Copies of this chain bind each other. A is one copy, B any other.
Amino acid sequence: MTLALDPAAQDLLFREARTANTFTDEPVTDEQVREIYDLIKYGPTSFNQSPLRIVLVRSPEARARLAPHLVEANRAKTASAPLVAVLAADNEFHEELPALFPHFPEVKDVFFSEFAVRERNAALNAALQAAYFIVGVRAAGLAAGPMTGFDPAGVQKEFLDEDHVPVMIVNIGRPGKDAWFPRSPRLAYEQVVTTV
Contact = CB atoms under 8 A, between A and B. Distances in A.
B100 A140 contact: no
Given A50-B186, A55-B194, A135-B135, A13 B5 contact: yes
A181 interface: yes
Given A96-B187, A128-B130, A192 B103 contact: no
- For chain A, give the interface size range: 35 or more
Nearest to A186: B41
B15 A193 contact: no
A67 interface: no
Interface of A: 1-6, 8-10, 12-15, 17, 19, 30, 32-44, 46, 48, 50, 52-59, 62, 96, 99-103, 121, 123-124, 127-132, 134-135, 138-141, 144, 146, 148-149, 159, 167-168, 181, 183-187, 189, 191-196
